[in-house]
Amino acid sequence: MIPVTIKEKRENVIVVRKKGTVGERLTAARLESGLTINEIQQITKIQIRYLEAIEQDQYANLPGTFYVRAFIRQYAHAVGENASELIDIYDGKIEPYAPDPEELPEIPVVKKIQKQRITRHDNRVKSSLPFIVLGIFTLAILAVVFYFMFAYQGIKPMIDTNSSIKVEHIVESSTSKVKENSSSNSNTLKTKESRSTSNIGKSKKIEISKISESGNNISLLAKNISEQAEIQVKALEGQKTWIQINDANQTAIYSGTIQASNPFSLKLTEGTKQFLIIIGAPAYTNLAINGTKIDMTPYNSDKPLTFIIFLEYI
């Protein structure tokens, strides 16, 4: 489209205005000056392919925005065009085909007010858009964090605050019952313990081997269990450790702190084939099954470890 030159008389002054894109106006000015594209190249020292791109308004073919403005300014000076006005057109500050103010239809006051309201609403939406995007992004991060938290709990079950309190109460009540029973039936328990000790001595030696290890999760296999399995936990001298024992259904059956002066033992339900024990301080803990100690040397760590122990009976 060839730029249009409009002459109008305002207060005895002739005002000349041009319409058209940057490329159209520069091309028309070059033709009016009788110059070829090669001559413009010799004057401005700008490569022909860049000059042709400017005449076709294809600014993506130029090196960058800084060079686009510089080349337009040089080209405009070479052909006698208004460089500042062309830069404003390139920046979008001036419409290349904007009509004269006299050509614009009169807009009723109501429509102007309505347009202002719409503009204000759009401005409010645009101003709040970053906060909306930030909120969505935050919710997405929280969703991912909660997902991995629940997934992690599925692999490595732990007890939340409420459930741990319940378990401690259960343990306290069960401990008190054991103490009461032990006070009334101490002779019977001593007899059973002596029998169990003699039976362990006669049975095959329990063999404990590692099946797998992944991070803080260790799977062990205890073979040659001849009777009801019993877990024995003891803290090293002057130390203490925390343990949690879950059954095969991941239900907590014990949770508490073991002192060096007060070893802990727990008999599992007869026929139990699998249980889980979480040890808070493996470096300060001795763990045994029916008197056979588990070698804790490879797990001399201050970080909590989870042992999944499978039992194989004779």
Q: What is the DSSP string of the chain?
A: ---EEEEEEETTEEEEEEES-HHHHHHHHHHHHT--HHHHHHHH---HHHHHHHHTT-GGGSS-HHHHHHHHHHHHHHHT--HHHHHHHHHTSS-TTPPPGGGSPPPPHHHHHHHHHHHHHHHHHHHHHHHHHHHHHHHHHHHHHHHHHHHHHHHS----HHHHHHHHHHHHHHHHHHHHHHHHSHHHHHHHHHHHHHHHHHSPPPEEEEEEEETTEEEEEEEEE-SS-EEEEEEPTT-EEEEEEE-TTS-EEEEEEEETTB-EEEEPPTT--EEEEEES-GGGEEEEETTEEE--GGG--SS-EEEEEEEEE-
Q: What is the pLDDT of residue 63?
A: 87
Q: Is the pLDDT of residue 93 over 80?
A: yes
Predicted structure pTM score: 0.37
pLDDT higher than threshold 90 for residue 102: no
Q: What is the pLDDT of residue 206?
A: 93
Average of pLDDT values for 182-207? 58
- Of the pLDDT bands very low, low, confident and very high (cuts 50, 70, 90), residue 165 is very low
pLDDT for res 33: 93
Q: Assess whether pLDDT exceeds 70 at residue 30.
A: yes
Give the per-residue pLDDT at 18: 74
Domain ranges of the chain: 4-103, 206-313
Give 15's pLDDT tier (boundaries 50, 70, 90).
Answer: very low
Instruction: Please give the pLDDT value at position 108.
Output: 47
User: Residue 242's pLDDT is what?
Assistant: 87
Q: Give domain 206-313's CATH number out of 2.60.40, 3.40.1350, 3.10.310, 3.60.21.
A: 2.60.40
Matching fold, domains 4-103 and 206-313:
no
Round the average pLDDT of the chain to a whole number and report it.
Answer: 78
pLDDT-derived band of residue 100, with 50, 70 and 90 as boundaries?
A: low
| pLDDT given at position 104 | 46
Looking at domain 4-103, its CATH architecture is: Orthogonal Bundle (1.10)
Most confident of 27-36, 100-109, 299-308: 27-36
